[in-house]
Amino acid sequence: MKKATVYITTETIVLIIIAIVFLGIFLTFGRYMYSKMGGDIKDAFDTITNQRIDRLKMSEKTFDLEFQTVSIQPGERRIFFMLLKNEDSKVVAWNINHTYSNISKDIDCSKISFDYKEGITVLPRSNRVPPLVIEADPKLYEGTCLFELLAKDSDNNTKMLEVVVDVTDTK
């Protein structure tokens, strides 16, 4: 009776070892394939984003935007970039504010949010390209708003840009 018990135990141990080996092989293969696939998607996004930023950095302006007109649907969120350039020999801090006005009478422009970083510091003879996030409320009606972005530097120099936000419901 002892021989049968030893034989079953040996067989069980061999099966467990084989199962662990195959599990390790499948997990390693799965991790490799997943990381390879995820990396390709991430690299593609970074390439497109870097091209957009590089194009914006070519601007001669001290304060510039990637787009002056943005089309957005209710409930949608769009990210684009703004350029803050410092050609001075000292550090410059920028504060961004915005105001809005209706171009269409049926739209409530206060339901379009503009999110950006406050107090952006730009080192001497360099530039920063922070993101600007625009989000339209899901219950917003179609229409057009005019937003004025005001950038004031630490020397109280003010730059102003206009952004037209066109809300269209194509559903």
- The tokens describing 87, both together, are 């050609």
Q: Are 124 and 139 in contact (CB under 8 A)?
A: no
Of the residues 31, 58, 85, which one is the last residue of a structural domain?
58
Looking at the chain, how many residues does it have?
171
Residue 145 forms beta bridges with which residues? 102, 165
User: Does pLDDT of 13 surpass 60?
Assistant: yes
Geometric angle at alpha carbon 80, from 99 and 38, rounded to 5°: 150
Could you tell me if 107 and 156 lie in one domain?
yes
Residue 19 backbone class (left: φ over 0; alpha: ψ -120 to 50; beta: rest)? alpha
Output 7 or 64, whichever has higher pLDDT: 64
Signed CA dihedral, 152, 163, 46, 62: sign only: negative
Look at residue 31 in the predicted model and tell me its pLDDT.
Answer: 76
Q: Is pLDDT above 50 for 129?
A: yes
Mean pLDDT for all residues in the chain? 85
Mean pLDDT of 150-154: 90
What is the end-to-end Cα distance of the chain in Å, rounded? 76
- Structural domain containing residue 50: 1-58
Strands of 69-72's sheet, edge to edge?
69-72, 158-167, 143-152, 92-102, 120-122
Residues 33-78 pLDDT 10s: 666 555 544 455 578 888 888 888 888 899 999 888 999 999 999 9
Q: Are residues 91 and 23 in the same domain?
A: no
Residue with tokens 């467990």: 16
Average pLDDT over residues 82-101: 90
> Is residue 144's pLDDT more than 90?
yes
Predicted pLDDT of residue 41: 47
The amino acid that residue 91 corresponds to is V
Q: Do 98 and 147 have their domain in common?
A: yes
Number of structural domains, the chain? 2
81 and 134 belong to one structural domain = yes
Tokens of 38: 């995820």
Res 121 pLDDT > 80: yes
pLDDT at 119 > cutoff 60: yes
**Do residue 97 and residue 46 come from a single domain?**
no
